[in-house]
Amino acid sequence: MNLNKKSNPTLNHIMKMSPALLPSIKEGEVVEAKLLQRTKKAAYFDLGKFGMGVVYRQEIFNAKEVFKNLKINDPVSAKVVSVENEDGYIELSLAEAGKQRVWQKLKELEEKQDEVKVKITAANSGGLIADIDGIKAFLPVSQLSTEHYPRVDEGSRDKILEQLKKFVGQELSVKIIDLNPRANKLIISEKEINNQNIKDLISKYKVGDIIDGIVSGVADFGAFIKFADNPQIEGLIHISELSHKLIENPKEIIKVNDAIKAKIVEIKDGRVNLSLKALQPNPWDKVKEKYKAEQEIEGSITKFNPFGAFVGLDDEIQGIIHISEFGGSVEEMKKQIEVGKKYNFKIDSVKPEEKRIILKLKK
């Protein structure tokens, strides 16, 4: 190596120092370095009490933004890659040191729960991708605010992605909720921004309360309900809580802008779960007054599943005929019965506690 010792007395001094006289240093440690000399193949740094460090060509390229404005004797942070390489120098990385400083800053933001403004750079069906000081951050769909949550029919991944792409290029305020520098993982949340305020508002309610609400969105898994007296609060009625009868789509029961009353059935982690059916008479409470074992009855096939078929007996009650009635074969079942058609059945058993009426096809 052609190091100009005459023009650089500090470099000359460091090179003469005995390794035994140098204090110990560890891999992964971030140290302060001062640029001494730069060649085509490497850059040399004064590490003070630790001796001399070197950054080679590939690493110079990786940290080109740092080197662009770096002059002789300028201080800079560097990360120790190797305590002693084959040339006897402490090998350094300026790019890694920069990343480590960014991760430290992000860790402080997470601990303080400070808000961060991020620009959305990309989207996939699972969420949004942002950039924070060169580190990629992921904002899952579940961590979007209720205002930005994609409400699409049938949970179509393509439709969700279509909605999410609208945010690319926009700025969102978020909080850091999880980070792992080793795994290069950074998870952010938009809904955490309003969570504390929402939790304070929700604290005024309790399980069992009946609220007035407006349907603000309908998805395949249920309906979103804004509280009429506190529009900042939005609860969810799961599809299973919309009606006592089995439904395929929430739109069979409810639509956007409907004014409804609903019962609070759960409050957890700033979320409110509601029920519509809890305010309706349960038809299964009196099902034994209408249906009994051995009774013959007409019903319409409403849906097939791998275990059999659902049979509509009236507007609210459905029975089920098991696949075993057709030799355990779905194909055989579909040969004998069709969705939408009516057939005569015999009731095998009535189990109101399980909301189940078992049927057999009357031959």
The domains located in the chain, with CATH, are 9-99 (2.40.50.140), 113-190 (2.40.50.140), 197-279 (2.40.50.140), 287-361 (2.40.50.140)
Q: Is the pLDDT of residue 321 over 70?
A: yes
Q: DSSP class of residue 229?
A: S
pLDDT tens readout for residues 331-356: 999 999 999 999 999 999 999 988 89
pLDDT tens readout for residues 92-120: 888 777 677 778 788 888 888 888 899 99
Going through the chain in order, the beta strands assigned E by DSSP cover: 30-38, 42-46, 52-56, 75-82, 90-93, 116-124, 127-132, 135-140, 171-180, 185-189, 210-219, 222-227, 234-238, 259-268, 271-275, 296-305, 308-312, 318-322, 342-351, 356-361
Kindly state the tokens that stand for 349.
């058993």
User: Which residues are registered as beta bridge partners of 91?
Assistant: 54, 82
Report the mean per-residue pLDDT for the chain: 85
pLDDT tens readout for residues 266-300: 998 778 999 999 999 989 998 999 999 999 999 99
Q: What is the mean pLDDT of residues 62-77?
A: 82
**CA nearest to 282, candidates 194, 339, 352:** 352
pLDDT tens readout for residues 19-40: 444 457 888 788 888 889 888 8
The reported pLDDT for the residue numbered 23 is: 59
The CA distance from 132 to 309, in Å, is 52
> b/e map of 279-308 (b: 16 or more CB within 10 Å)?
eeeebbeebeeebeeeeebebebbebeeeb
